[in-house]
């Protein structure tokens, strides 16, 4: 089974790229983030024609997540149980589903904006709620993974130049501690084993030639329990899909499982 995660940065704008990538990559289960569309605007029919069911949690111009599957789609949970609100709104940042014997959560962790901003506090609270919400699945015997855009670089090696991010979000001790607490629920970071690229970044800013200069970050992660990690045969960021006109600023992260 091939499982992947991708911050698509508008599913309606990039639907043709999405369908092309699904066909080329042979992906069975795909977790999407940053849909940027109303539920009614999600391209359900085009994906169904390509053989994929979709569990969607979207709310309009910002955010939005989905799980696409061609191996079954059951036990769907939309929203983060016990998750915090921001400005009185429970944002659509999490959706879970069971696909072909594997349980996945697609998550889009809040950005945080600036250290000390209310959105930063919201981000930390959201990560804490995520840990509580996934604890049962993480401890279970079924292969399970949380995939998505975490908006946190776990280590300094996961950013192109640590000094550039001094005092900024994505690299603070508080954010990394929240990730460590999530892993302590029984999850581990899948992408480092093995790597296809020396610096496996997953996001490059559109500005200042970020991608050509490889000024990237690894913030799209796959955190999985032991039954899942034991099945992993390969894991990599698909840099090729970041190339060309109309690309998302994130690359898909792909994990192959031997079931």
Q: Give the DSSP H/E element, type plus range, for residue 33.
A: strand 29-33
Say which DSSP state 240 is in: G
Q: Which among 52, 108, 122, 223 is annotated as catalytic?
A: 108
Binding residues: 7, 34, 149, 151, 249-250
Tokens describing residue 78: 């939309």
Tokens describing residue 259: 């079931």
3-state secondary structure of 229: helix
Please enumerate in sequence order all residues whose Cβ is within 8 A of that of 172, keeping only pairs 6 or more positions apart, or say none. Answer: 115
CA distance 68 to 115: 34
Reply yes or no on whether the pLDDT at 195 is more than 60.
Answer: no
Is 108 a catalytic site residue?
A: yes
Q: Which among 57, 158, 203, 250 is annotated as catalytic?
A: 250
CA distance 157 to 215: 12
Domains of the chain, each with CATH number or no CATH: 2-252 (3.60.10.10)
Cis before 194 (ω within 30): yes
Q: Which among 28, 137, 149, 220 is annotated as catalytic?
A: 149
3-state secondary structure of 115: coil
pLDDT in tens, 225-236: 999 999 999 999
pLDDT-based confidence at 199, cuts 50/70/90?
A: low
- The secondary structure of 36-71 as a DSSP string is -S-GGGS-HHHHHHTT-EEEEE--SSS--EEEEESS
Reply yes or no on whether the pLDDT at 222 is more than 50.
Answer: yes
Average pLDDT over residues 122-130: 98
φ, ψ of residue 147 in degrees (nearest 5): -125, 145
Is 117 a catalytic site residue?
A: no
Binding residues for Mg(2+): 7, 34, 149, 151, 249-250
Percent of the chain with pLDDT over 90: 92
- The secondary structure of 167-213 as a DSSP string is TSTTS-HHHHHHHHHHHTTT-EE-TTSS-SSSS---EE-SGGGTTTT
CA distance 259 to 236: 18
Determine the pLDDT at residue 194. Answer: 44
pTM for the model stands at 0.96
CA distances from 10 to 119, 123, 227 (A): 22, 22, 33
Average pLDDT over residues 36-43: 96
CA distances from 66 to 189, 190, 239, 246 (A): 21, 21, 22, 21
Is 86 a catalytic site residue?
A: no
CA distance 8 to 143: 25
Determine the pLDDT at residue 193. Answer: 46
CA distances from 54 to 43, 85, 98, 99, 188 (A): 9, 25, 12, 11, 26
Reply yes or no on whether the pLDDT at 196 is more than 60.
Answer: no
CA distance 37 to 182: 29
């Amino acid at each position: 089974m091939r499982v992947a995660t991708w911050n698509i940065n508008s599913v309606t704008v990039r639907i043709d790229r999405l369908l092309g990538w699904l066909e080329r990559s042979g992906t069975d289960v795909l977790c999407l983030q940053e849909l940027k569309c109303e539920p009614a605007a999600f391209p359900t029919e085009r994906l169904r024609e390509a053989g994929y069911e979709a569990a969607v949690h979207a709310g309009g111009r910002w955010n939005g997540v989905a799980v696409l599957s061609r191996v079954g789609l059951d036990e769907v949970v939309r929203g983060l149980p016990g998750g915090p609100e921001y400005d009185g709104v429970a944002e659509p940042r999490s959706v879970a589903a069971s696909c072909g014997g594997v349980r996945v959560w697609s998550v889009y962790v809040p950005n945080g904006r600036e250290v000390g901003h209310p959105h930063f506090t919201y981000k930390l609270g959201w990560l804490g709620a995520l840990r509580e919400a996934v604890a049962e699945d993480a401890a279970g015997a079924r292969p399970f993974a949380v995939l998505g855009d975490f908006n946190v670089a776990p280590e300094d090696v996961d950013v192109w130049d640590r000094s550039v991010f001094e005092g900024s979000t994505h690299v603070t001790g508080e954010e990394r501690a929240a990730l460590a607490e999530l892993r302590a629920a029984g999850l581990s970071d899948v992408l480092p084993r093995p790597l296809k690229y020396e610096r496996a970044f997953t996001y490059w800013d559109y500005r200042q030639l970020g991608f050509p200069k490889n000024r990237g970050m690894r913030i799209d992660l796959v955190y999985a329990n032991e039954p899942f990690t034991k099945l992993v045969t390969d894991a990599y960021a698909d840099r090729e899909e970041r190339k060309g006109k109309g690309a998302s600023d994130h690359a898909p992260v792909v994990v192959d499982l031997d079931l």
